[in-house]
Structure 1
Amino acid sequence: MSWKKDIEELKQREALAEQMGGEERVARQKAIGKLTARDRVDVLLDAGSFHETGKIAGRAAYGADNEMTEFLPTPFVVGRGLIDGRPVAIQSDDFSVRGGAADAGIWQKLVFAEQMANEYRMPLVRLIDGTGGGGSVKMLEKDPRTYIPQTPGWEWVVANMASVPVVSLALGPCAGLGAGRVAASHYSVMVQGLSQVFVAGPPVAKAIGEDVDKEGLGGAEINGKNGVVDDIVGSEAEAFAAARKFLSYLPASVHEAAPRVQVNDPVDRRDATLIDVVPRDRRVPYKMRRIVDACVDAGSFFETGRQWGRGLITGFARIDGWSVAVIAGDPMFLGGAWTADVCRKLIKHVDLAQTFHLPVVHFVDCPGFAVGVKHERSAVVKLGVQAMAAVYQARVTWCSIVVRQAFGLAGSAMMNPTRLKYRYCWPSGDWGSLPMEGGIEAAYKREIEAHPEPEKRLKEIRAWAEALRSPFRTAESFYAEEIIDPRDTRPLLCEWANLAQRGAETGPSAFGMRP
């Protein structure tokens, strides 16, 4: 007896699932410039690699003859596929089915993808477009009672933060659980003008007296600058490209090392421009990104979080083909001072590097914590010591390039000084417990005032202090391990990147990364 009839029914049900929310709603989705849930999967993954799970799951209605008369698929497309030949788990919300709300679907599908990523040790990509939560109040008509809230499967969300790379792409309005899924990731992206992320939408905000639209409540302008998401892009295609790029620097899980790639950039390349990239006048800023680009493998620097915590540059790069996490002070923004947001940004990036065992390269230019009432009110001291703790807790190999300033508590956290100080200092290095500018007049006030030629005496003291600031004086006592020609930075980093692999570890870290 053949099972052909059953297979025909299976194909029919799969065809119904592929219609998603129906022709009208799919057309509405495309009319506003959005791809469908299935189109997004096809664009993101390697061609032909997607294997869907639970395709025919949904809500069906049956007639008296037990034949199906209606079918509405779940608003979640889940499964597995390949990105650059490496397996990934994937979730794709279908906004055409009741706005991607979980009350129209089967929440177990989302949990399935989270669990698969965790147990099979593969990255997870979430394509989020909808609430993904408890749905609307109208659901009470079907089940006339309220419930004590819980979030099924959140244990897998938490576990994945400590075990596999998680990428969330916000591709539409993301509220409630949808917003939570965006935030609970290692790398998140929004599309300008297309996606919004908020706890609850405009109708709920209006109930508390705030009349605002979706963009004003949770658009890219807000979430790109407050750290809720890491990057803002101009299109869905750019979001998919960013996800693929991010994953290329990371291992599939904490149980593996990040893949090494072949590069054509010579390890002995010396960039002649580095000799004068830092101005001799300490008050003049310079472009730190130029230094980073010159030292890592050509074209490999991938910056994340550019719009927030702007005093610190973070991202990933390759050095002699090895993946590394990059941290760099940016003197173009508040001189590179550590604000509360800079501290938050540093904590996340160091914890991410620790979780996935990526060596850290720190290009140091830090005048200390940001000073002033505004920064005190933002709890910069509290967040600052948390950032220092993140640096001290990290066990990954670490190399610091001291480009210019390193002052105070924040300056001391260029690395964990209780471990081997593998660092190189440029001749432009300037360090201490606090900058001398402004301190000389205070420290020698009486002496200067009592001198018959105060201006002359002040000039003499300044000349004396300037001589003391020479990094060569510091190196005399081995407080600075090496002063180097800036043009030698890349060759030395390439040597370090290979040595760093000797101390590389895999497996779970002693502490799990929080979103």
Structure 2
Amino acid sequence: MAGDEDATRKVASTSSSEVAKERLAKVASHIADSDTPKRRRRKSADSDLPADYSDILGQLATLRTIAATPDTTNRGYVRQKQAGKLWVRERVEQLLDPGSFQEVGSVSGTVKWRQLGPQKEEPEDYIPSNNVQGFGRLRGRKIVFTADDYSLRAGHADGALMDKTVYMEKLAIALKLPIVKLVDGSSGGGSVTTIRQTGFSYVPPLPSFTQVIQQLNMGIPNLGAVLGPAIGLGAARVVACHFSVMAGDISSLFNAGPNVVKNATFEEGLSLTDLGGPDVHCRNGTIDNLAADEAGCFEQIRTVLSYLPDCGTKLPPTVEVSDPINRVSENLRTAIPRAKNRMYNPRAIITEVVDQGTFFEIGSLWGTTAIVGLARLGGKPVGIVSLNCEVNAGALDALGSQKITRMLKFLDVFNIPLVQFVDVPGYAVGSQAERTATMRHGVTLAATYYSTTMPIFSVIVRRVYGVAGGVMLDCRDPRMRVAWPSGVWGSLPLEGGIEVGHSFELKEIERTEGKAKRDERYSELENEYKRLMNPVRTANHFGVEEIIDPAYTRQVCCEWVDHVYSSLLPQRVMERIAGKLQPMFA
């Protein structure tokens, strides 16, 4: 046994020795081969390019520097400054929170390249895309934005503009972020020179509006500002927004400019302001608000956004306030005159009830029979609707109905509850009211009241008459409302109503006994009806749920809003997420 083991060890030792000799021979062979000259590989063009891609990064830096530096000799830039307008990147800087600008498509545009070698090149000339787009923040809120550069081709389309715009519209939907649109020019609309560049004409497309309508109905805030001439597509983009504002010193808006109008309608000598200035479009409802200048536009956009959620599947943002919810306003007890034909200031009532300094009116220059806007109660955003007794005695005309209709849809898509101060003598009457289709727009308003679903709380401050009154107060079941002691209501106001209801009696008295007796009887009837129309009598029959002391209106409203935000709106948001509830703005 021992002999066998010795033999096995000798065989293994011999084998290991042979393997070692074989490895040594291979190493020696390699060393010997290294002394012989080898054929060198031809150097490729790629080997001249830096390993850290600094050439590409350098090209990007060059293009971005050119884009961010105004060409003060460019006639478009000179024209921009002569008109008193900010350059596009100055606008972006003023609009956004400092340091929050992140550009998308920063080097899109037309580049002329100089070749330096087989693969090397550098930018020789660069015309940036005439729209600056990207991300930023407004008072800490992240947004996406687009901003026209009128100094380049007056904002008309270039090779990248439409693709960039559609991309940003899609980003707003995908990321559920508010979008701000600064319009100056056609926002990528066509120019006849495009035909010459492409070599053919085209049937005009409108690719971005699919996304725009989707955003509007999703409750993704669309906020637009007119900061120069908004033409064609540019005008359409800003008018389609949830909220729009014009700079009073530099803006105009129209379907086509004066030169096209001159050939189409033979109206000559029109300036941009004559054709579509702020005095035109802030008074006809095309644009919501007027600002003094560009800075004023930016501030209004920031303010409106502060009341809105990022999208309709979120709650509106709340803030801490120092104004106590139980603040008593004794001056409201005398806000409504005892004489029913005397006027009062409805805005004073609104500002007294809501959190101090939070009422932001929308559309103050058009549809002036109605007052609408945004405010806070206990730090929580609410919509405001009131009739304006100082205009047409508060009777709802066609424009007033359109204004409230638009506001109701606005509140519905953003999950904002409505508090309304009701003093409505009915729809406007007379030949002018009939010519302007008051009833048509009034019925549209009624349909909107009944088809929207945001919570509504009503404070009856004085009159509620006719169809208009019924629409405003009977659109929710159960009704959530209170009345002031100054409330009066019915099918018709007494003035005129007595004449209609007692026409035969009064005529007979005048015919048989004279006008003095007729007037005496009229006075008796008037006093009787006024006594019967005591609001307490209505409350006795539960025709009005509660009559409150006006001084405590704020507390009542704040308690209602607090309950809505704690109990009703969270459920509403869940229904929006599940697709059960789908409000429509557009």
Range of TM-score over shorter length = over 0.9
* 8 Å CA contact retained: 1:60, 1:68: yes
- Structure 2 SS opposite 1:42: helix
Q: Which runs of 5+ in 1 are unaligned?
A: none
What are the equivalent positions in structure 2 for 1:58-457 lying under 5 Å apart?
Answer: 58-63=109-114, 67-103=122-158, 105-163=160-218, 164-208=220-264, 209-211=266-268, 212-451=270-509, 452=513, 453-457=517-521
> Deviation digits for residues 9-62 of structure 1, max 9, x if unmatched?
110011122235664333432232211111111111111011000010001123
The 2-side partners of 1:104 and 1:404 are apart by: 59
> Deviation digits for residues 306-343 of structure 1, max 9, x if unmatched?
00000110000000010001101110111111111111
Q: What is residue 23 of structure 2 aligned with on the other side?
A: none
* 8 Å CA contact retained: 1:37, 1:94: yes
* 8 Å CA contact retained: 1:267, 1:490: yes
Q: What is residue 475 of structure 1 aligned with on the other side?
A: 539
* 8 Å CA contact retained: 2:456, 2:476: no
The 1-side partners of 2:105 and 2:522 are apart by: 78
The 2-side partners of 1:177 and 1:120 are apart by: 25
Aligned-pair CA distance for 1:86: 1.2
**Bigger mean CA offset, 11-20 vs 226-235:** 11-20
Q: Which has the larger radius of gyration?
A: 2
Report sequence identity in percent.
35
* 8 Å CA contact retained: 1:402, 1:424: yes
The 2-side partners of 1:241 and 1:9 are apart by: 37
**Bigger mean CA offset, 206-215 vs 435-444:** 435-444
> Deviation digits for residues 248-270 of structure 1, max 9, x if unmatched?
00101101101110000011101
* 8 Å CA contact retained: 2:59, 2:122: no
Aligned-pair CA distance for 1:460: 1.3
The 2-side partners of 1:41 and 1:401 are apart by: 42
* Counterpart amino acid of residue 100 in structure 1: G
- Structure 1 SS opposite 2:408: helix
Normalized against structure 2, the TM-score is what?
0.85
The 1-side partners of 2:96 and 2:295 are apart by: 12
Aligned-pair CA distance for 1:446: 3.0
Whose RCO is larger (CA < 8 A, sep 6+)?
Answer: 1
What are the equivalent positions in structure 2 for 1:49-64 lying under 5 Å apart?
Answer: 49-63=100-114
**Bigger mean CA offset, 62-71 vs 419-428:** 62-71
* Superposition RMSD in Å: 1.5
* Counterpart amino acid of residue 253 in structure 1: C
Distance 1:418 1:265, change over 3 A: closer
The 2-side partners of 1:201 and 1:19 are apart by: 30
> Deviation digits for residues 408-455 of structure 1, max 9, x if unmatched?
111112244441211110111111111121221232233234445333
The 1-side partners of 2:155 and 2:188 are apart by: 9
- Structure 1 SS opposite 2:137: strand
* Counterpart amino acid of residue 402 in structure 2: R
The 2-side partners of 1:10 and 1:454 are apart by: 91
Corresponding residue pairs, total: 514
Q: What is residue 18 of structure 1 aligned with on the other side?
A: 68
Distance 1:266 1:67, change over 3 A: closer
Distance 1:22 1:61, change over 3 A: farther
Q: Which runs of 5+ in 2 are unaligned?
A: 1-50
* 8 Å CA contact retained: 2:258, 2:271: yes
* Counterpart amino acid of residue 98 in structure 1: R
The 2-side partners of 1:94 and 1:327 are apart by: 37
- Structure 1 SS opposite 2:327: coil
- Bigger proportion of residues as helix: 2
The 2-side partners of 1:230 and 1:21 are apart by: 34
Q: What is residue 512 of structure 1 aligned with on the other side?
A: 584
